Amino acid sequence: MDVRGALAVVTGASSGIGAATALRLHEAGARLVLHGRDPGRLAALAGRTGGATLTADFADPAAVPAAAEEITRRFGEVDILVNNAGIGWAGPFAEMTAADVRRIVEVNLLTPVELTRALLPSLRARPRSSVMFVTSIAGRTGVAGEAVYSGVKAGVDAFAESLRFELADSAVHVGVVVPGVVDTAFFTRRGRPYQRSSPRPVPADRVALAVLRSLREGRAEAYVPGWLRLPVAVRGLMPSLYRTLATRFGGS
Active-site annotation, residues: 149
Element (H, E) at 198: none
Residue 24 parent element (H or E): helix 16-27
SS (H, E, C) 58-120: CCCCCHHHHHHHHHHHHHCCCCEEEECCCCCCCCCHHHCCHHHHHHHHHHHHHHHHHHHHHHH
Give the residue among 120, 26, 22 at the shortest CA–CA distance from 77. 120
Contact 51, 82 (CB under 8 A): no
Separation between Cα atoms, residue 127 and residue 21, nearest integer Å: 23
